[in-house]
Structures are given as C-alpha cells and as structure tokens.
Structure 1
C-alpha cells in the first residue's frame, strides 16, 4: 500500500512549476527525465516531491497532476498536469462555506461500499481537514490490487480544472488508451489506462479516473495490477475495475460531498496567469518559430503560455525539445544558479547540463540550458535524442546543440510569455 505520510500523491502538480527549483542533485535529473509531474508524483506533482532544476519542464507536459495542495504528501496515485503555468496558491475563499467534515474512516467505508464483491485489506484514509483520501488493497479473487480515491478542489472553470480531465500527451507518458466523457451535469470524466512508469518497463499498470465538476470538485481514483504502486510484484494481468466500474466509482455522490467539506483555506485560487493566458501567446508556437532553418517541425504542443514542446527532425531522426517559462523565480535563484553558473552581459545567468534521459530507456540523453534573467524570469529548455521522453534513442545526440539551446532560451520573445 502507498504510505500516506511519505509517498507523494501527485494530486495537483501546479505547485511543481514553482517549487521545482527547491533542491539540486540527481533527484532533479530523474524527475526531469521522467517527464512526470510526479512533481508526483502532478504532483505536481502538484506534490512536494518535485526536486529541482529542469523538473518544471518535464513535469508540465504530462497533462496530469501529481502534487497535493500545499505540498502535502498523500496516498499513492501518481498522476495528476500538470498544469502548464504558475502554481495555484491555496488561500481562503471567504464567500464560500464548507459542509460538515468527513473523517478518514467514513471515506474508507465509502470506498469499501463502492467496490465490487471482494475483500479490501490494509485500508487507510484521511479526512477532509487534511487532503482527504481512502486507499487499500482490493482482492476480488483474481489477485491483490492497490486502489485509492482522493478528493480535492480545483478553481472552477479554469485551465487547471480542464487539464485534469484532458488526456496527457504520449510524447511524455506511455498509455494504452485514454478518453474523456462529458456528463449531463457538465462534469468531465477522464479514464486513462496506462502504466506506473512512463515507459511501462515494470509491467505495473496504473488505471485512473479523473472527475472534475462545474463547481470545482475533483475526484481522482487509481488502481494497479499489484498490491502496491511500487516495489510489489504484478499479481494480475490488469487492475480489477473496468472503465465502467472506475467511472461509477469516481462519480459516486459521496466523494462530491467530501469535496464540499474541504476547509476553505485549502481551496486553491486560479493561477495568476489564468486571466491573461489567452493574450500572452503559446510557448510551443514560439519555440517552433525559433527552430533553426533546415529542421522540420514534426509536431508541437498545444497553446500554453508557460510550457511547450516541438518535435524536430533535421534529417537524422526525431528530437524532442521542450521549454518552460516561469515569471519570477528569484526566491530560488541562489539554489539553481550557484557554482558553475555563467552571467551574460545583460545579467542573465546560465547553467548547462548533459545527463541521461528517462531511466530505463535505452540510449536516451537530455541536454538542458537553464536561464534566469535579472527580473527572475526563468526559461528552461531541454532537448532529447528521441522524439519522446519515453521511447528509445533515435539518434546519437539531440537535434539542437547546446549553443543553439542557449540562444533559444535567451531570446527576448520569452519576455512576453509565461
């Protein structure tokens, strides 16, 4: 079972974008290469687990969230865009009133009641006063499987709310199927059948359902084909709940009631760039315009003012290039741009890095240029020697040299985005 206190339940990885620079070291490289917000997991993240450096770049692309609001740890489900942009801050909403609190024991009883015939063991839960969830090991006679349901709030009607039910881009995460359905009440439900690891190397499958309602209730259900999300052998071919069962579980009214009981000071406000995002432009489109002549843009990401990517081909194979813009990161500047950083004539600090890419992916490498301008605007760009973070290398080196990456990262066009 996931450890409720130590295993970050990436529930909202918007925090990952801002907190990505908090620490340095190998953890940063692992998270960046993984391209997961398991900021995660979204968490960031939306989790406090995101280390630093270029992690913000890799995490944003997921379209799923991994970090719990306020940087708290929670139960196991790893996924959850990752929103592309500054993190939503948790602040009181004085005009709203919360429903009566729901205990962790009540949430466990709800989970037990909603599961099909079988046994739920090692059950644990946390109430609505502290990032609620219920989790356990379910066995329907065909093998043990970890299951969990988390309850959260997102700012209603925002980009972050929409992204929680949008299928992630396969450039960043491998999955077998994904689809989003609109319910009669305006809610959206996403069902994703994927894997615990982006490259599906372990055989551990992760299936999840994400529900977001028009009022901002966010329910996330996850299940695995093993007794724990990590470090346990696969016990069955597939997780126990079908897509229909997952949908039924995540749409149960009991979870919405729990979401309404979340304290006001734990409910996030819209990210600062929500109102202006439509006017600032797209990172992906700008990145495509900055690609050198002689390279073809094979594909690119959606319109987003904080994160984007392009897949380039210079005739030698596909190469993924992704970039993240963060408006003001001066609070972590000393940690990210310390020893080894160069300072350009205009005051911009630059750090370069060559490292392995996704763990377990044959031959993949990641070249990164991290920059911060005097006003704190951070632009991080990474290039891979493959067309995706989770597929084997297609070429010896990325399509863009380190000098070209630096030229793109320091281009003045980024002053208008993010």
Structure 2
C-alpha cells in the first residue's frame, strides 16, 4: 500500500485498477461494458499515471481496459441483463463493410455464446447489447468443474500502436504467466493466446486464460476464462480453465463476434489518441544510455517511444528501473504535482515519492521521481529493490538513488523522442 501521506493520482488510480481486477487485464469477466472503452482512452493519456504498479504494464500489454466491478456502467451503475435494451434494433455503420449493421441484443449474444461453447452447460449468463459497450459472460460447466467465461466485443483504431498493443504478450518482468503467443491469421488479424493467472504474481491458484483478437478493420474480441466460477473470491474448481487453447481460438475468431463489433455505434468507437507518440526512439535504449557509472544493465525492454525499462545490477542485486515519457499531461498536472512539488528555474516541476512497490509482495519498495515541463511533457521514473515487480526483493534499496533518478528524468534527451 502507498504511504498515507502520498495519496497521489497515480497511486489511487493504480490501486483502483488492482481492486477492480485490472492487474492482469482481468476485470470482471473481461473487458466488460463501459470500462473497456474508458480504459483504452485512459491508457493513451494515463499510462504513466500508474507507473510503478503491475497495472501499468497490464495496460500496455493486455488491452489497457479499466474494468468495473460487476460489469456495471461507470457512470450510472446500470447492468444490462440478457433481455437486451430498448435500443436493440438500432443500426450502426459497419466499418468493415460500409453498410448498416443491425444492432445485436444482449439476449442474442448470450445465445451465441451458448451455441459456440463445445457442449456442457452455460448458467448465470448475462450481457449487454451492441448499443451500449457489448459483452456476454456466464459460468460454463463441461462436467469437470465450473469455470467463468466471458466475451467482450470492442473496437480499436485500426492500424495504430494501440491496436497492436492489444495482442502483444506482456513482459514477464511485470506479469507472471505460463505461456503466451501471438500469431497472424490468414485474414491479417492478430491473435494472442495467453495462459496466466488472475493476479500478476500468481499468488493464488486462480488461473486466467485469454484470447485477444484484433482484425485489420479494428474489431477487437477478448475472450477470457478462469478455473473457478468467478474470476475473484471464488474457490478453484479445476486445475485449468475449461477451454483449451484451440477452443479459445475458435471462440475468439467466430464470425458472430465480428458482426457484433460492426454494430457498435460510431459514437462509441475510439479514435486514435491525439497525443499518440510520433517519435521513433526507444525509451528503454535511451534510459540505458543515461544510467550512472557503476551499474550494469542485465535486462532491457523492447523498443517503444513512450514506456521502457532496464534491469540493472551494481553488484548488490538486481533492480528494476522503469520510465514513462509522455508529450502532454497538463490536464492532470494539478492531480499529480501537489504537496511537496519543487519548481525549477525553467518552470519544470519535480516531486519525489517513496512507497511500497507491490501491496501483495512484502518488502518491495518503489522510489519515484515525477517531472513535468512547462509544455506538459512528463517524464516519470521509478526504481525498485527487485529485478521484477512480481518477485521478492533482491536488495534493501533500489540500485539508483533519488538524485540519480532525478538527473535521468530531467535529461534533455527525452525531448528528442517525439
């Protein structure tokens, strides 16, 4: 838990994500309801706001959706039953065909899930139609133990980095899982099959397996299943979730879900983030080049112009260092830079924090330096006393001091990344 004296936006948001199940991209039965669309919009603007929590990387690598408990509407608390909605017969332009796609009711989605499941029985089924962020979920029993199953239907801006991120396997430095693979289908769609856990450090026996499909036109289908009748607070009923990887693929690629995605109203379809990073530089590579003498880089993240990390070792144990570089965060400046903020002569604001790195792993600490320049560019860096966020501490304190972290965050090289 964070220190009581540092109830910052980033800490409150990170813990809100954890509490609502986002730590492994595993909200109540998947990317349900309004949380999915809201989460994708937030990811583009807030990815750094959860830096330091496992949720940060879940946002990057697992679709980035903010789930709400019980599949409720974030604003009204409404939950659509299988009966559908009064607007169920409305139509929406189809992005893939250019024609009017008839809306699909919650009841139709439930019947589709029942039809596509390989035998067995589906109970406690409910959903929401395409007029209001569609999803369907239920408890599936194949005779070998009950398992929760969900399908959410969404849209992502076609051809964008955001679309690609939804099918990128997460980094094991942050998320524990047994296997993950992304394949390209003959029609150009990308499909990720991940066998992981409900919690990022696999601290419980609840397993989460998922299939994420993104088509060239931006249809986004997310199928999730658990080896328990609910994703949280339910006893494990079987060793593994009921559907095999092959069955997950078949369910995720079913044409019925794509038709439902085409029926999502234009007003609910996300547009490319206006501040999508345009630079081609790698945060991980730049971060590695700014490390102080005396530390050795033993691990490094992939090329990405917005988020990166390195694992360093100064001879006293591995230490994870991660950084976000965002072009304009002035809209949340007041939330992030409050009490304890210093303002430098050039107008750059700096705030430092020391807190727990993971509320579920004893002994993990996180040191953070958060900066924002007058034009809104935010560079926030955190260091841990462990080589990963989901493993035990490897040392008493991070390998880099607060002064060293601040020097890296304020380096002008970050201005060159776009």
What is the TM-score with the length of structure 1 in the denominator? Answer: 0.83
Confirm whether residue 55 of structure 1 aligns to residue 50 of structure 2.
yes
Distance of 1:406 and 1:293 partners within structure 2: 15
Aligned equivalents of 2:24, 2:196: Cα separation in 1: 15
Tell me: CA distance 1:272–1:53, structure 2 relative to 1, closer, same or farther (3 Å). Answer: closer
Distance in 2, matches of 1:219 and 1:74, equals 19
The answer for the alignment partner of 1:237 in structure 2 is 239
Give 5+ residue unaligned stretches, structure 1. 1-20, 77-91
Two-structure CA RMSD over aligned residues (Å):
3.1
Segment drifting more, 286-295 vs 35-44:
35-44
Whole-angstrom CA distance in 1 between matches of 2:325 and 2:116: 42
What do residues 114-164 of structure 1 show as CA deviations (whole Å, max 9, x unaligned)?
112212111111111111110011111222211100011112222222221
Please tell me whether the aligned partners of residues 342 and 350 of structure 1 are also in contact (alpha carbons under 8 angstroms).
Answer: yes
Task: Show the counterpart of 1:202.
Answer: 204
CA–CA separation in structure 2 for the residues paired with 1:258 and 1:73? 23
Residue 23 of structure 1, CA deviation: 3.6
Structure 2 Cα separation of the partners of residues 93 and 317 of structure 1:
56
Matched-pair contact (CA < 8 Å) for 2:155–2:218: yes
Cα 1:340–1:289 shift into 2, 3 Å: same
The equivalent residue for 2:102 is 100
SS in 1 for 2:366: strand
Cα deviation digits, residues 176-200 of structure 1 (max 9, x gap): 0011122111112110000010100
Q: Where does residue 64 of structure 1 map in the other structure?
A: 62
The answer to whether the 8 A contact 1:31-1:38 is kept is no
Give 3-state SS (helix, strand or coil) of 2:310's partner.
strand
Taking the aligned partners of 2:100 and 2:134, their CA distance within structure 1 comes to 14
- State the SS of the aligned residue for 1:99: strand
Query: Residues 138, 39 of structure 1: CA spacing in aligned structure 2 closer, same or farther, 3 A cutoff?
Result: closer
Residues of 2 paired with 1:189 and 1:253: CA distance? 14
**Structure 1 pair 184–39 and aligned structure 2 pair: CA distance change class (3 A):** closer
SS of the equivalent of 2:186 reads coil
Match of 1:179 among 178, 181, 188: 181
Q: CA deviation at 1:26?
A: 4.8
Aligned to 1:327: 327
Instruction: Tell me by how many angstroms 1:247 deviates.
Output: 0.4
In terms of mean alpha carbon deviation, does 51-60 or 135-144 score higher? 51-60
- 1:383–1:32 distance in 2 versus 1, CA, 3 Å: farther
Conservation of the 8 A alpha-carbon contact between 1:300 and 1:309: yes
8 Å CA contact 1:355–1:367 kept in 2: the answer is: yes
Q: Deviations over 1:264-318 (max 9, x none)?
A: 122222233558343xx11111100011111111121111111111111111111
Instruction: State the alpha-carbon separation in 2 of the partners of residues 246 and 255 from structure 1.
Output: 13
| CA drift at 1:331 | 1.5
SS at match of 1:218: strand
Larger radius of gyration: 2
Work out whether residues 385 and 397 of structure 2, in 8 Å CA contact, stay in contact via their aligned partners in 1. Answer: yes
Relative to structure 1, the CA distance from residue 157 to residue 53 in structure 2 (aligned partners, 3 Å threshold; closer, same or farther) is closer
Count residues with an aligned counterpart: 379
Deviations 1:81-134 (A, max 9, x none): xxxxxxxxxxx9998555111111111111111112212111111111111110
CA offset at residue 22 of structure 1? 8.8
